[in-house]
Amino acid sequence: MAKPRKAKSAPKPRMSPAHRERLIVEGAIAFFAEVGLEGQTRELAKRLGITQPLLYRYFPSKDDLLERVYEEVYLKRWKPEWEALIADRSLSIGERFRRFEKDYQRTIMTYDWLRIFFSAGLKGTDLPRRYLLRVRDLIFTPVLGEMRREFGLPSPAQLPLCAQEYELMFGIHGALVYVGIRRFIYNMDVPTDQDLVFDTEMDAFLAGVSPVMRRLVAEQQAVQRARRRKS
Amino acid sequence: MAKPRKAKSAPKPRMSPAHRERLIVEGAIAFFAEVGLEGQTRELAKRLGITQPLLYRYFPSKDDLLERVYEEVYLKRWKPEWEALIADRSLSIGERFRRFEKDYQRTIMTYDWLRIFFSAGLKGTDLPRRYLLRVRDLIFTPVLGEMRREFGLPSPAQLPLCAQEYELMFGIHGALVYVGIRRFIYNMDVPTDQDLVFDTEMDAFLAGVSPVMRRLVAEQQAVQRARRRKS
DNA sequence: CCGCTCATTTATCAATCTATAAATTAGAGC
DNA sequence: GCTCTAATTTATAGATTGATAAATGAGCGG
């Protein structure tokens, strides 16, 4: 058994600024995910085993600390390889999208990621909006382009992607994310075998997407023809 | 132009307790939806044009006021006719479910409903969990039973509903709710014609649900047979 | 082992929080 | 118009908030 250095309980090792900063950031992620972004700096400090003013030596304000949390959880966890995967034509676009969503869901389906994301959204931060626009522009847009190609439909250059086509992508995306929402936001039990859920949802989506896109494209072409006739 | 009664700006009419209480509850719904459940009673009072202590004449504490908000937004907006609709065999179960979701989504797809729901979830309130269990038990369970029947599959009494079948329901449900999440939580633009989005999603779901349920039931039966052989 | 740097703590301010008690005054009933 | 009930306000307690300034002391370089 360890012999206590003094009568007082804990020895207090000093840390290098770099190490301390990491501890604070990681502690802040876990803390704000649990109690919400209005969580108090005093309570955070207590969990970290430090005093509250020490936080202000590393971050000028609570908002600065939160900015750092966003950067750590969302920007740093984005994988550029996802964009490369979508472009890889050695696989069918269905398979590429399936692999993307599988890894993406594995990345975001955590207590920290989901809870801070929703807290930030409710607070009015535009981080969730910007993040999803990124998903749309860097993932959904090329996926839809590749699907058009694979289904023998006009390219987006010939016939622009329509809102309904994007909604198809947001639909399957939302269905998958909803599992995490139920688990981490609503505190519900979800099936232990998440891969099975994922595959069932994805199979249903991939089976249905082709005919629906054909229909949407046909409707858009009809609109386009009617417009030409008018002018 | 109205002649001011006195030099001071606003005339202050007294209200009956019933009327005042309604104003407070409705103001509180809008207020907490906007700023979150940690919104301050002083700020709420200011928006209502009353002083903060007056709130405490109508509600013993802030938590009591929040309880009332939950009751007003979630319990009072639940329509028992939904359960009757699902049971109405003069319509196909697909049509019944479509009509249910259409009216349900119209009910919950509001700024107040969605934002307070997520705020409550993040805060740790078990209201969202309890609410969704109600949806599952009163809607999804009978819908799945009727689908089994319509597809000529064993009844839930013969072969219990499995987790994957429930996930199918949560999947389409989540895809639809996700539109509201993007709009009211993430503050994104969503297509103006929500009915079109709804129909596209629902068509795809109803087209795909039958074969998937057949497969799931077959798998369950195989498991059951294997189990019997063992014992 | 001395001295200096800087990681960390103690002490505290000013603003803000929920909640309570007592003072005010609008307005219905006589 | 007087009176009394109760709707509403003023005043304030008591706890907590983010943030700052000054004091402390661990541990490295000499």
pLDDT of residue A12: 65
Q: How far apart are CA A68 and CA A57, in angstroms?
A: 15
User: How many Å from the CA of B44 to C1' of C16?
Assistant: 14
Domain residue extents for chain A: 17-72, 77-230
Q: How far apart are CA A153 and CA A145, in angstroms?
A: 9
Say if CB A12 and CB A49 are below 8 A apart.
Answer: no
pLDDT at A175 over 70: yes
Chain B residue numbers with beta carbons less than 8 Å from the beta carbon of A177 are 174, 178
Domain B17-72 classification at class level: mainly alpha
pLDDT of residue B165: 95
pLDDT at A3 over 50: no
In eight-state DSSP terms, residue A91 is S
pLDDT of residue A17: 87
In 10 A of CB A149, how many CB atoms? Answer: 14
Low-confidence ranges of chain B (pLDDT < 70): 1-12
Helix A93-108 to helix A163-180 angle, to the nearest 10 degrees?
Answer: 40
Q: Is A189 on the interface with B (CB under 8 A)?
A: no
pLDDT of residue B136: 98
Least reliable range by pLDDT among A4-18, A207-221, B69-83? A4-18
Q: Do B122 and A133 touch (CB under 8 A)?
A: no
Q: How confident is the model at residue A24 (pLDDT cuts 50, 70, 90)?
A: very high
Q: How confident is the model at residue A68 (pLDDT cuts 50, 70, 90)?
A: very high
* Residue ranges near strand D (C-beta within 7 Å): A 12-14, 38-43, 52-53, 56, 60-63; B 12-17, 20, 50-54, 57
Mean pLDDT of the A129-144 span: 98
pLDDT of residue A151: 97
Q: Which amino acid is at B202?
A: M
pLDDT of residue B12: 66
Query: What string of DSSP letters covers A174-218?
Result: HHHHHHHIIIIIS-----S-HHHHHHHHHHHHHHHHHHHHHHHHH
pLDDT of residue A8: 39
The C-alpha of A39 sits at a distance from chain B's nearest C-alpha, in angstroms, of 10
Nearest to B41 by CA among B64, B10, B70: B64
Q: Which amino acid is at B207?
A: A
pLDDT at A10 over 90: no
Name the residue with higher pLDDT: B5 or A159: A159
Tens digits of residue pLDDT in A32-56:
999 999 999 999 999 999 999 999 9
Q: How far apart are CA B162 and CA B164, in angstroms?
A: 5
Which residue of A121, A178, A197 is in closest CB contact with B178? Answer: A178
Nearest to A143 by CA among A85, A197, A219, A214: A85
Query: What string of DSSP letters covers A109-124?
Result: -SHHHHHHHHHHHHHT
Mean pLDDT of the A17-23 span: 93
% of chain A at pLDDT higher than 90: 86
Q: Which amino acid is at B196?
A: L
What is the maximal distance between C-alpha atoms in chain B? 92
A99 Cβ contact partners less than 8 Å away, ≥ 6 residues apart: A85, A91
| pLDDT averaged over every residue in chain A | 93
In 10 A of CB A49, how many CB atoms? Answer: 10
pLDDT at A170 over 60: yes
> Tokens 């196909």, residue?
B92
Which nucleotide lies nearest residue A64, CA to C1'? Answer: D18
A-contacting residues in B 162-181 (Cβ below 8 Å): 163-164, 167-168, 170-175, 177-179, 181
Chain B residue numbers with beta carbons less than 8 Å from the beta carbon of A36 are 38, 122-123
